[in-house]
Amino acid sequence: MHLGNLRSALYTYLYAKHNGGRFILRIEDTDRERYVEGATDVIYRTLRSIGMQWDEGPDIGGDYGPYVQSERKAMYLPYAEQLVREGKAYYCFCTKEELEERRAAAAARGETFKYDKHCLHMSREEVERRLAAGEPYVIRQNVPETGEASFDDVIYGHIAVDCAELDDMILIKADGMPTYNFANVIDDHTMGITHVMRGNEYLASTPKYNLLYDAFGWEKPAYIHMTPIMRDAQHKLSKRDGDAYFEDYLNKGYLKEAIVNYVALLGWNPGDEREFFTLGELIDAFSIEGMSKSPAIFDVNKLTWMNAEYIRRLTPDAFTAHAMPYYAQAGVAGMDTEILCRILQPRTEIFTQIPDMVDFLAALPAYETDLFTNKKSKTNPEVAKAVLELVIPKLEALPDWTEAALHETLLGLAAEQGMKNGTLLWPVRIALAGRQVTPGGAMEIAALLGREESLRRLNEGLKKL
C-alpha cells in the first residue's frame, strides 16, 4: 500500500471513529488494465496489521454490498441509461483512432483537446441502429456548455469551474465497466456515504461529480481533499521513485506503529506539541481543523528518528522478538539475547542496522595491528601485546565465564597493574572484535562469544603482535 493511500485510509478511519461513524472498505477495481493480482490481500493485511478494522467491507459484508466494484458491474449501466434518456448523457461511438486524430489536430493548433460532443447530435434512430449492430460504444456525461459547476470542500472552501472548460467524461467504458469517476458517485450514494476523504488530485474532477449528483437529484457527500505527500518541494512521493510503500519500510526495519504515527502527522497537526500517538490517541485527537492546506514533505530522517524513539520504548522481550530475524541473518541468534538487547536497543534506529552492528560476533573480520593504537586509551601495539599477555592466562583460569566474572577479572587486573581501565580494555576489545567501534565493550563481547571463541581470538591477536 502506497503511503499516500495509507494516509487517506488512516484519516478516514480516524475521522469516522472520532465522530462515532462507520469506516467503510470498498475495493475500487473497475480499471481492469491496472488490476494487480493480490493487491486486495495487501490492503486487508496492511489495515489489519495497523488495527484499522473496517465496519463494512468485502470480507465481512454489510447492508450495502457487494463492496467490490467489479461485483457491482450490473448496477451501473441502468443509472447511465437513465441519464441518456434524460439528455444528461449520450452514447459515443467514436473510435480510438478518430479520437487520436482529433487530439493530434488540437495539439497542432496549440489547444488542449476536449471532446467535441460529436456523437451528442446523432439521431435516435442512428444510435439505435448502431447499438443493434453491436458497434462498440461508451456513454459520456453531457456537461452543460454554459454556467458553472461548483462544490464546497471542507479544507479548500468553495470551488467553482466554468462548465465550458469541462470535458464530457466517460461514464461507462467499452467493456461495460464504469469509470472510476462514475462508479464512485453511484456507490457513494447507494452506500449512504456521508464524507469522502481523498487526495487533492481529484479536486478538478469533483465539479463533474456534482453535476452527476444534480442530474440524479441526490444529496452530495461532504468532500475533504487532502494535500499531497511530497518527496521534496518539487516532487510527489512517487511509486515510480521507490520508497513509497508501507511494506517497503517494514522490510527496512521500521516499526508499523512508528510509520503510522509519522504518516498521521503528514498533513495534520494535533494543535499542541505532542508527537507520539497510539492509534487510540490519534482517534481522540483527530480533527478536520488540524488538517493542512500545504503539501507535506516526507522526511525519511524524521521517520528514522521517530522509529528509533519507538524502539527505545520497547520492552526487552518485544525488542528481541523484532530483532530475532536480524540476529539469525547475522548468525548470532544463539547468543545471549539479554546482552544483545542491552547493547543494541539504545543504538538501533531501524532493525536492518543490526546485522552490520554484530556481524563481527559471527566471524572475526580481518584487521591490522594499527587498530590497537588509541591515544585516548594510551595504547599501541607494544602496549597491547603486554596487555594480552597478562589477560589471556587470567581468563584461561576463570572458573565461570559470565559477564560479571569477566568484568570483575578484567577491571581487577587493571587496578592490580596500575593501568587505566581503557588501557587494558581497548586491546582486549580489538582482539575480540577486529574493529574499533562496537556495540558493547570487551566484557559483553567476551560473554557473547563464550570462553573458547574468546580465547581463540585473543590468542590470534597476540600472535599478530
| 297 three-state secondary structure | strand
- Give the per-residue pLDDT at 234: 78
- pLDDT of the residue at 314: 98
pLDDT digit string (tens) for 394-406? 999 999 999 999 9
280 vs 14, 52, 283, 458, CA distance in Å?
Answer: 9, 10, 5, 52
Q: Nine-digit cell at 12?
A: 478516514
Whether the per-residue pLDDT at 204 is higher than 90: the answer is no
Query: pLDDT value at position 238?
Result: 67
Buried (b) or exposed (e) across 85-108, using 16+ Cβ within 10 A?
A: eeebbbbbbbeeeeeeebeeeeee
Q: CA 264: distance to chain centroid? A: 11
0.75 exceeded by pTM: yes
Reference 313, options 346, 273, 359; nearest CA is 346
Active site residues: 239
Instruction: Express each pLDDT in 234-288 by its tens digit.
Output: 777 766 655 689 999 999 999 999 999 999 999 999 999 999 999 999 999 999 9
What is the rounded average pLDDT for all residues in the chain?
A: 94
User: What cell does 94 get?
Assistant: 467514436
31 has pLDDT over 80: no
Residue 170 is given by DSSP the state E
| Whole-number pLDDT of residue 38 | 83
- Tell me the CA distances in angstroms from 455 to 427, 461, 462, one per residue in order: 13, 10, 10
Residue 61, all three cell numbers: 459484508
pLDDT at residue 34 is higher than 80: no
The residue behind cell 462544490 is 151
Mean pLDDT of 6-22: 96
> How does DSSP classify residue 122?
S
Q: Determine the Cα–Cα distance for residues 300 and 237; give it in Å rounded to an integer.
A: 11
Q: Which range, of 33-37, 154-158, 292-296, 451-455, averages the lowest pLDDT?
A: 33-37
CA angle 199, 205, 207 (to 5 degrees): 120
3-state secondary structure of 97: helix
pLDDT in tens, 348-387: 999 999 999 999 999 999 999 999 999 999 999 999 999 9
